[in-house]
Amino acid sequence: MLLKSLSITIVLFILLISPAFSFPQITSSIETEFGVYTPYLVNIVPNVQPYTIKGDLSNITNLSLFQFTENEKKLLAKNGFVASPTKYKQVYDIYNYCQKANIPIFVTTDSMLHVYHILYGYTLRILETRKLCDDLEKLNAVMLKNAISQYEMATTPLAKTAAKKNLAYFAVASVLYNPATAIPSQVKDIVNAELKLIDAHKGFDPSPIFGYEEDYSQYVPRGHYTRSDKLSRYFKSMMWYGRMMFRITPREGIEKGIEETSQAILIISLVKNSKIGTEPALDVWDRIYQPTAFFVGKSDDLNIYEYMEIMEKVYGVNYASISPDKLADSAKVLDFIDEAKKYHSPMISSTIVWEGEDIGTVTKGFRFMGQRFIPDSYMFQQLVHDKVYGRMFPKGLDIFAIMGSE
């Protein structure tokens, strides 16, 4: 959009969406799990004198430089600006044109946000390429290797089933990042079936491993993940870890909940007992999770740390030394589920939830990396069916309306 601003001076307008919408004033350093943040305080005193535009636009000095329609003139007189389509693809191209043509520039906050977005995307891409990709490959490899050992140790039907599905789960993640990964013979068919659906990425289909519906269209790399094969493979592997659920109370019933929760319990045991060289696997997992939580958002699902807390409550502090058979004991797993119910529920749904179902109930559980809580996703979800009956899709302007813009 080309903003035709006719004021005499170049002005930086900092537009507040609504005077009633206030942000917390952060004036001192804040420490989080990821790092310490120190605000840089900036005090700006506005010095542009107020002015009014006459209804006939007669006090605009450079009106003749523009060709306005009658409707555009009315909008200009009413609002002080008018927006029109343009051939330019970047905001700075418009600024360059205006500067060369000696036209005052109307700088809006969207251009500031665009620059921030570019820097954000570049920083995240460099972090992923130089650090997180390698950590993910190492984590995948050790989890797959130790999942084989855990499967071989399991003997009871529940433990054996859960361990086998976990073996397939980590095999899929490993192959998605490193296609040369050897798929264990015990799960080769089911892993290949899962990979075939991911490669086809046509939409919803039952997962060969988990049984529930999965949206395989989500595995198409997008944004900066299309820039290299390495980033595309990283995207798919992380998407797998972020989407596949180990639910505590699924719609299929308690037996399914026991099975999926048994899988999650065995995964926690694997993480606790695994090392990458001399480094605990949990530290490598955390080194991937914390930066992505900072850049994207914290997990909306229950994560490794929360499940470790529950493990200590149900199995005791030495749960890492307990055998797969005893961990996947139905009575203990039910105790685990009862305890997990006390923890927070997901606020955003990333999968199918049927009419009348509660998101916080049927999708609650564990994800290895977790879907992230993103404010705009939460806002959009509150403004579509079934929160707003019959409204199937949100609009981009919904966010501005929520924040008070009229």
Has residue 68 been placed in a domain?
no
Distance CA 207, CA 259 (A): 15
Same domain, 175 and 314: yes
Same domain, 358 and 378: no
Distance CA 298, CA 301 (A): 9
Same domain, 221 and 326: yes
Domain hosting residue 325, numbered range: 126-369
Check pLDDT > 70 for residue 171.
yes
Question: Which of helix, strand or coil describes residue 107?
Answer: strand
Average pLDDT over residues 244-270: 95
Q: For 89-137, how does the pLDDT look when each residue is reduced to its tens digit (9 = 90+)?
A: 888 898 999 999 998 888 888 888 888 999 999 999 999 999 999 999 9
pLDDT for residue 24:
64
Has residue 342 been placed in a domain?
yes
The answer to whether residues 172 and 194 touch, using CB atoms and an 8 Å cutoff, is: yes
317 or 8, which is more confident? Answer: 317
Q: What are phi and psi of 68, to 5 degrees?
A: -100, 145
Same domain, 304 and 394: no
The answer to whether residues 75 and 55 touch, using CB atoms and an 8 Å cutoff, is: no
Domains in the chain, number: 2
Place of tokens 């997180």: 132
Residue count (the chain): 406
Of the listed ranges 203-217, 266-280, 282-296, 386-400, the one predicted with least confidence: 386-400
Check pLDDT > 80 for residue 387.
no
Has residue 282 been placed in a domain?
yes
Has residue 380 been placed in a domain?
yes
Q: What's the Cα-to-Cα distance from 207 to each of 14, 135, 215, rounded to whole Å? A: 49, 27, 9
Same domain, 143 and 226: yes
